[in-house]
Amino acid sequence: MNASDKDPLVLFMPSGKRGRFPKGTPIIDAARELGVYVESVCGGRGICGRCQCDIQTGHFAKHGITSTADHVSEFSPKEIRYAEKRDLKPGRRLSCSTNIEGDLVVDIPQDLQINAQVVRKADDGRIIERNPATQLCYVEVEEPDMHKPLGDYDRMREALERDWGWENLEVDFALLPTIQKVLRAGEWKVTCAIQHDEEGSRPRIIAIFPGLKNEAYGVACDIGSTTIALHLVSLLSGSTIASSGTSNPQIRFGEDLMSRVSYVMMNPDGREGMTRAVREALNNLIGNVCAESHVDRHDILDLVFVGNPIMHHLFLGIDPTELGGAPFALAASGAIHCKASELDLEVNSGARVYMLPCIAGHVGADAAAVTLCEGPHRQDSQMLVVDVGTNAEIVLGNASRTVAASSPTGPAFEGAEISCGQRAAPGAIERVRIDPVTLEPRVRVIGIEQWSDEPGFAEAAETVGVTGVCGSAIIEVVAEMFLSGIISEDGVIDGSLAERSDRIISEGRTHAYVLWRGKQELVIKQTDVRAIQLAKAALYAGIKLLMDKQGITHVDSISFAGAFGTFIDPKYAMVLGLIPDCDLDHVKAVGNAAGYGAKMALLNRGYRREIEQTVRRIEKIETALEPKFQEHFVYAMAMPNKVDAFPKLSERVTLPQRKLMADGMPEDGTPRRRGGRRR
């Protein structure tokens, strides 16, 4: 546009991108030249309303810009018509029909709702800058002409090139038989969904709708081995319309990952059965979110999935047997592109699926998504990202170098190897405090509001029951046992305390702690403490190994992803030595960061390239091949960790301080989310 210094200065918010443009430039052209994504379905015809912008007025001293309403062209006939037919709020303009006439501050609303019927769901508030792989493009196609006998498809393609600049377009073959009917139904006006993900690929027409189609949806989904979480997202506004979750039906084939791999190895149709089960569950979830928000599932055009390598393979229909043993060879580690129909997903027949790359045989697309969400590779300080499941996936690094590993924590953190462990359900103990003097516990139970020493608890417990200890609370029990001196630094339950409390009981050659006495007696055995010790030692050893690789003894921040991260208190994790020393203000639970990473990849294809490049750069550390891992593991069996392995925290948490720390623990019964974001 050859702008000069005398041309008006335009600042786009919230991106902050700015530039000078000659008077008369449409705002949408200025935005695009600066790389500010402004949606438009109708291609500047003023009928879709997707390109709305807010003209800010006032003097913006910081930017040196005085922006006024008369620094833009007058309302155009298109805008007047749109405002009459639809609803254009005061201050709003259509950026396709509004020209720059002076300095401007233009706000591009990030969450524009055009279709009022859409049910809004509270989103996380974080803005994902959009640049979707799938775009709706409205065109008016020339009618057939015997003098110019191009086919109907070919004329549509011409219109897409002329009006939208799409060159070298391809079309899904399955659409060819439908094009003539759709063109005639729309009276030669149609909206094409164009998918253009990777730069080196040809853009592709994946769906065609008669007339103006002003809404399209995407799905972001994290396929966990236990839980599947799925979000329905508007591709045009970027907002999450509805979310739903379900337990992974593959559980009936095997509780944990390795038992599912075994099932495949033992049963000829095992892989197929598990693939079908997870795809059915996904179709049901898609049905749920669509029903909830009155969305037609055939309007879903793009889907992003993440999951650990075994979930990844089973979902894609790939035999995961190779992942069951060394060298843990993935069938494919790079990002996967395919059609939703190839995965039997019941959405638009042209819809595309993108799966984030896997980092290694044990560090999957879910870890990649967590990495994309948290972004250690986007910052200078050393960030530790931990996602605890059956294995703990660990990523550590910054913009210059990132390393990753999987630590074999086993299922103890999920409560699976704990004698009184149970799933998080009513009746499960979720919070524990032990008085270091009397050794008496206070607990909070899911489904009961009061702590166990508060009035009303007993009555409620009659109804709800107290039946077990949920996974994340195990950490708290063991930490409290340590803080109250019931277990020593090497994890032995101190039998001599039986003198002080009848809660310390003898069990053969070891001792145990009676956490609860009621209809059911809940006992923390020495083997339970050992299970947690082993798990935490594995996690810590993995982290320490990565810290060695980075040559650091201190991390700047820690992000705890996943349900485990959401429910445990980071302070207890640090007391036990699950995670290294770090300023607690920089330790945060980030919830379903994997799902959020999937959503980022759904809304912005730039994030797909970013995580692909990042994963290629990430150095993968195989703990089993590193002699140092064993060494760290042995040290980390201690609570919190052996002094030489982890001096700083160990110093701080000396026995005299335990009472103090225990006093500082939150009493409100809710897990702390320091700096954490709800998703």
Q: Which residues bind its own copies (CB under 8 A)?
A: 143-154, 157, 168, 170, 173-174, 176-177, 179-181, 200-202, 316-319, 322, 326-334, 336-339, 342, 358-361, 620, 622, 624-625
Residue nearer to its own copies on the CB measure, 14 or 151: 151
Least distance in Å: CB of 235 to its own copies? 22
CB of 9 or CB of 310, closer to its own copies: 310
If the CB atoms of residues 201 and 381 are measured against its own copies, the closer one turns out to be 201
Q: How far is the CB of 102 from its own copies (least distance, A)?
A: 43
What is the residue type of 129? E
- 110/38 Cα distance (integer angstroms): 9
The least CB distance from residue 200 to its own copies, in Å, is 5
Length in residues, the chain? 679
- As measured in angstroms, the least distance from the Cβ of 629 to its own copies is 13
**Residue 347: CB minimum distance to its own copies, A:** 16
Scan for tokens 């699950």, then name that residue: 578
Burial string for 533-572 (b: 16+ CB within 10 Å, else e) reads: bbbbbbbbbbbbbbbbbbebeebbbbbbbbbbbbbbbbbb
Q: Which is nearer to its own copies, 357 or 441 (CB)?
A: 357
The full DSSP string for 430-477 is EEEEE-TTT--EEEEETT--SBTTSTTHHHHHHHH---EEEHHHHHHH
Q: How far is the CB of 152 from its own copies (least distance, A)?
A: 5
Of residues 157 and 672, the one with the C-beta less far from its own copies: 157
Considering the complex, state which of residue 620 and residue 677 has its C-beta at the smaller distance from its own copies: 620
Element (H, E) at 182: helix 176-185
* Pair type for strands 9-13 and 18-20: antiparallel
Residue by residue, DSSP assigns 119-154 as PP----S-----B-SEEEEEEEPPPPBTTB---HHH
Q: Which is nearer to its own copies, 13 or 358 (CB)?
A: 358
Q: How many C-beta atoms lie closer than 10 Å to residue 472's C-beta?
A: 25
Vertex 453: Cα angle to 449 and 459 (nearest 5): 55
Query: Closest separation between CB of residue 353 and its own copies, Å?
Result: 9
Strands of the 336-339 sheet, one edge to the other? 240-247, 227-234, 217-223, 300-307, 352-355, 336-339
Select from 532, 515, 535, 534 the least CA-distant residue to 420: 515
Name the residue nearer to its own copies (CB basis): 301 or 470. Answer: 301
To its own copies, the closest distance from the beta carbon of 541 in angstroms equals 17
Output phi, psi for 604, to 5 deg.
-145, 110
Q: How far is the CB of 258 from its own copies (least distance, A)?
A: 17
* Minimum distance from residue 519 beta carbon to its own copies (Å): 49
Nearer to its own copies, 326 or 634 (CB): 326
User: Which CB, 241 or 615, lies closer to its own copies?
Assistant: 615
Check if the beta carbon of residue 56 is closer than 8 Å to that of residue 75: no
CB closer to its own copies out of 309 and 580: 309
Cα 65 to Cα 32, 103, 104, 556, distances in angstroms:
20, 6, 7, 38
CB 173 → its own copies: shortest distance, Å?
Answer: 4
Report which DSSP code applies to 672: P
Q: For 328, which DSSP code?
A: -
From the CB of 35, what's the least distance to its own copies, in Å? 24
Q: Which helix (H) or strand (E) holds 258?
A: helix 257-266
Q: What is the tally of helices (H) and strands (E) in the chain? A: 18, 30
User: Helix, strand, coil shares of the chain as percentages rounded to 5?
Assistant: 35, 25, 40
Nearest approach in angstroms of CB 387 to its own copies is: 17
Name the residue among 412, 533, 389, 387 with its Cα closest to residue 471: 412
Nearest to 639 by CA among 564, 572, 591: 572
C-beta of 184 vs 517, nearer to its own copies: 184
Nearer to its own copies, 351 or 475 (CB): 351
Amino acid at residue number 178: T
